[in-house]
Amino acid sequence: MRAVPAHVAACFSALEQAALPYAVLHQAHRIPDSIDSDIDIVVADGKMSELTALLRRFAEEQGGVLCQVIRHETTARYHVLALPDEFGTPAFVKIDASTDFRRDGRVVYTSDELFSATRVVGCVTAVSVGVEFAAYLAKRILKESIERSQFDALSQLWGEDPAACRSQCAHLFGPKSLELIASVFDVRNAPVPMDRLLTLRGAVLRGALARHPIGALTVAVGRPVRLAGRIMRRTGFQVAVLGPDGVGKSTLLAGLGRLLEPTVRRVEILHLRPGLLPARGAGDGGSSVPYARPVLGYMASILKLAYLLLDYCLGYWLSLWPKLLASTLLLCDRYYLDVVADPQRYRYGGPSWLPGAAAALVAGPDLYVVLSADTDEVQLRKAEVGPEITSSQNDAYARLSGRTHPVERIDASGSPQAVLNRVSWLVLRSMAKRGVNRR
């Protein structure tokens, strides 16, 4: 999803006005008009928290939110800003900021080295041509992949300032490796296959260790601390959507998956429950015709509820929690409170108070969204469910309490796009609120 150029320009204008020391690491010439991925920047040592606070204020001033902050390295944070476009739909600016350049347990460039020479490119400050070339080449080599478009970008930088690129490569890779790099990019020489560059991986790592041995130690020490922080403050988010049959849950979930994909590493849609335990037929609530079978007896209903609770409790910690730690957005078509609101769907005929009382045992989701709409409108979407059932379902979901889990109610009577916009902002603001104190 391409970022809105006006958002990107305004964001960097805010950085300039705040006089916060920063520099764009790669492809600054594409800012602000051609951004279709995250923007890599470096900030001065000790300025990361200030940057995060500034981006949060900027997003709020623009009517949006800083919805995600992922600390993917000890010295790096991945920021996702959600800002309204001209139609009020969330658009995203993704800024990957670090105070140095490190890969594979090595500090390749320190902050001082990256800031040794900067330049102005359009509306932004960027690292020098030589630093950009050497850092980008090292990054591609350490990832063991150089695509044609990436090679062309490197060739363009080499052509802009060959002397500066040579100087930085000699510093980063060593004189012997410089000969190979020059043979690939210097047009005066016979062309050398670009795959030969991948053989320099060892030279990058050895050079980084020789230049910054203490940096390698701090990387090793900082990794468990960072991982512990990720466990304490997970960056994934779980949303469950409830509501009468035909109210638009499936359409909404599909739209949320597409629209909110830039905020996380992956998106998964879950139906009914975690699924750690196998389904047990129509009584699991997944029948296309609800209430097709009679409710179970008193004891059978209690056993069925215990089975569902076991799946929700164990399934959350063993299946869903690891995904939430890995920055996954889990979108659930119904979840446990659906059993509380509509027990008949699950063929439950036990004590009416028991499902609600047991809700406190179920971890997650972070947000329940309850959709409602006029009975006649829902009937137009799903006529096979009678109006009496639809009206009863609307009443049941309206009575849901938010005592054990956060519950938000949304009128789904409007167009699908309007409902998607409202729910998207509700989810994004919930994500931002939870992440205010994340470090």
Write down the pLDDT at residue 104. Answer: 83
Look at residue 439 and tell me if it is in a domain. no
Indicate if the pLDDT at residue 172 is higher than 70: yes
How buried is 149 (Cβ within 10 angstroms: 0-12 exposed, 13-18 middle, 19+ buried)? Answer: exposed
Is pLDDT of 280 > 70? Answer: no
Dump pLDDT digits (tens) for 132-166: 999 999 999 999 999 989 999 999 999 999 999 99
Kindly report the backbone phi and psi dihedral angles of residue 82, in degrees, each rounded to the nearest multiple of 5, phi listed first.
Answer: -105, 120
Q: Please compute the mean of the pLDDT values over residues 329-353 and round it to a whole number.
A: 94
Q: Is residue 106 part of a domain?
A: yes
Provide the Cα torsion 209, 212, 218, 221; round to 10°.
20
Q: Residue 189 — very low, low, confident or very high, per pLDDT cuts 50/70/90?
A: low
Most confident of 73-87, 205-219, 226-240: 73-87
Is 381 a domain residue? yes
Is there a single domain that holds both residue 76 and residue 12? Answer: yes
Q: What is the mean pLDDT of residues 285-289?
A: 60
**Residues 68-77, mean pLDDT to the nearest whole number:** 90
* Residue at 88 is within a domain: yes
32 preceded by a cis bond (ω within 30 of 0): yes
CB-based contacts of 247, cutoff 8 Å, min separation 6:
371, 372, 373, 378, 381, 412
- Residue from 74, 140, 134, 76 nearest 109 by CA: 134
Mean pLDDT of all residues in 94-110? 91
Whether residue 60 is contained in a domain is answered as yes
Same domain, 254 and 107: no
Q: pLDDT confidence of 297, banded at 50, 70, 90?
A: very high
- Are residues 151 and 280 both part of a single domain? no
The secondary structure of residue 243, as a DSSP letter, is -
C-alpha to C-alpha distance for 325 and 364, rounded to whole angstroms: 13
Average pLDDT over residues 49-61: 97
Identify whether residues 46 and 167 lie together within a single domain: yes
Residue-averaged pLDDT of the chain: 90
pLDDT in tens, 343-384: 988 999 999 999 999 999 999 899 999 999 888 888 877 777
Domain C-terminal end among 185, 204, 229: 229
Q: What is the pLDDT of residue 437?
A: 46
Please tell me the distance from the alpha carbon of residue 152 to that of residue 146, in angstroms, as a whole number: 10
Residue 144's pLDDT is 93
pLDDT of residue 212: 85
Q: pLDDT tens across 378-419, in order?
A: 887 777 778 888 888 888 898 887 778 899 999 998 899 999
188 and 285: one domain? no
**pLDDT band for position 47 (cuts 50, 70, 90):** very high
In whole angstroms, what is the distance from residue 233 CA to residue 324 CA?
Answer: 10
- 98 and 206 share one domain: yes
Helix (H, G, I), strand (E, B) or coil at 250: helix
Does residue 365 lie within any of the structural domains? Answer: yes
- Boundaries of domain holding 268: 236-434
- Strands (DSSP E) contained in 282-366 are 328-333
Q: Quick one: tokens of 398? A: 């309206």
Write down the H helix ranges in 120-193: 129-142, 148-160, 162-173, 175-185
CB atoms within 10 A of CB 383: 11
Q: How many domains does the chain have?
A: 2
One domain, residues 211 and 256: no
Q: Please enumerate in sequence order all residues whose Cβ is within 8 A of that of 228, keeping only pairs 6 or more positions apart, or say none.
A: none
Q: Is 303 a domain residue?
A: yes
- Look up the CATH number of the domain holding residue 379: 3.40.50.300
**What percent helix, strand, coil does the chain show, rounded to 5?**
50, 20, 30
| DSSP-derived secondary structure letter, 316 | I
Place of tokens 């300032």: 161
Q: Do 250 and 391 lie in a common domain?
A: yes
Same domain, yes or no, for 314 and 390?
A: yes
Q: Mark which of 211, 229, 247 sits at the end of a domain.
A: 229
Which distant-in-sequence residues (6+ apart) come within 8 Å of 337 by Cβ?
A: 240, 242, 359, 368, 400, 405, 407
Query: pTM score > 0.85 for this model?
Result: yes
Task: Select from 229, 257, 288 the last residue of a domain.
Answer: 229
Cα 434 to Cα 196, 252, 401, distances in angstroms:
47, 23, 21
Query: Do residues 213 and 292 both lie within one domain?
Result: no
Q: What does the pLDDT read at residue 216? A: 67
* Contact assessment for residue 89 and residue 98, using Cβ atoms and an 8 Å cutoff: no
- Looking at this protein, which amino acid is placed at residue 143? K
pLDDT > 90: what percent of the chain?
70
Q: Is residue 272 domain-shared with residue 388, that is, in the same domain?
A: yes
40, part of any domain:
yes
pLDDT over threshold 70, residue 439: no
Residues 260 and 217 in one domain: no
